[in-house]
Copies of this chain bind each other. A is one copy, B any other.
């Protein structure tokens, strides 16, 4: 096991009828900016419920944070916070709204171009406004971690950022607040969480037994939940289990002390930036091909994955690995997520453009061994045609 630090001070308030807890969780004198996405938060009453719980506190709103939140939009929220001297942010939404809120929290106190706080840009985040979240879409885990991803539309850059100051003070996880989500978004959430786990698990063995068991438990749970999300998605327990699983898939726990990959995410980000494909859908395209192309380096863990997660015991090693990758692909397809670029009418021209973007972003040595070069990424994309 590698040495590690694990620190996660976000308070999770989980269950139905928990939005009223905002009154105890938000400081009484807070001057609040309420950030949200489209009009669904207003239409389904969640925004009203949040404002009611905040009582007589000063609350301003900032709506319109888009999926894959953009720098161009968020910088307006930064202006609003500065202009009105607001001092607490409250995100109501899914990963995009929460990621965007994190960016605003850090950018408000940053002097200079806030774009520079993104990971490959070099500036470090030294403080952030306090913020909390009300989660309405289980998937990204942003509600209990200190990272985010922001896109700059002008340049089609989609870049991550991370800071010790970026943990939500609290996150309210009320499964009933996901009731109006379409099945497509729930299915995306299942795949997003699944691939988050895979990126931290399917690398190489280092005798980190609990991390492996926890990762396998999350994967098994998602495999069980997948069909339920499609068939009985209104069931409280199904949504509750998806919500808590997705949170634990990316809160630092299963990644502590183990190697991590993340190449599927980095390649997928470019697919979203260039072609507007939903984040989870990019992962469904890239992961099976990535496992196929890099099966030698991942052999030991692929065999463990086959045995423990998919209960595959038949065949020789190559066959068991083939079956595991095939099961993974079929799981994504069964949830309605295509696993080939062709489903989006993308071909070899698109691959050239994607490789060019990876090069521009210096993403030329990805993966747990830092050996996923542009050439390897190209082969992964070709295998996903």
Query: Which A residues are within 8 Å of any B CB, using their own CB?
Result: 1-18, 207-210, 213-214, 216-218, 220-221, 224-225, 237, 240-241, 244-245, 248, 253, 256-257
Contact = CB atoms under 8 A, between A and B. Distances in A.
A237 B208 CA distance: 8
Contacts of A209: 221, 224-225, 241, 245
Given A3-B16, A14-B256, A15-B257, 9 more contacts: A1-B237, A1-B244, A2-B15, A3-B14, A7-B11, A9-B9, A207-B240, A210-B217, A210-B244
A314 to B, nearest CB: 18
B1 A11 contact: no
A108 to B, nearest CB: 24
A221 B215 CA distance: 13
A13 B5 contact: yes
A225 B1 CA distance: 14
- When all copies of this chain in the complex are counted, the total is 2
Contacts of A237: 1, 207
Contacts of A245: 209-210
Nearest to A167: B9
A3 B16 CA distance: 7
A256 B243 CA distance: 14
Contacts of A8: 8-9
Nearest to A175: B1
B244 A257 contact: yes
B241 A207 contact: yes
A210 B216 contact: no
Contact of A214 (B2, B16, B217, B257): B217
Contacts of A7: 9-12
Contact of A218 (B10, B210, B218, B220): B210
8 contacts: A1-B241, A3-B16, A3-B17, A4-B14, A207-B237, A207-B241, A210-B217, A210-B218
A268 to B, nearest CB: 25
B12 A210 contact: no
Contacts of A210: 217-218, 221, 241, 244-245, 248
Contacts of A253: 253
A162 B224 CA distance: 36
Nearest to A4: B14
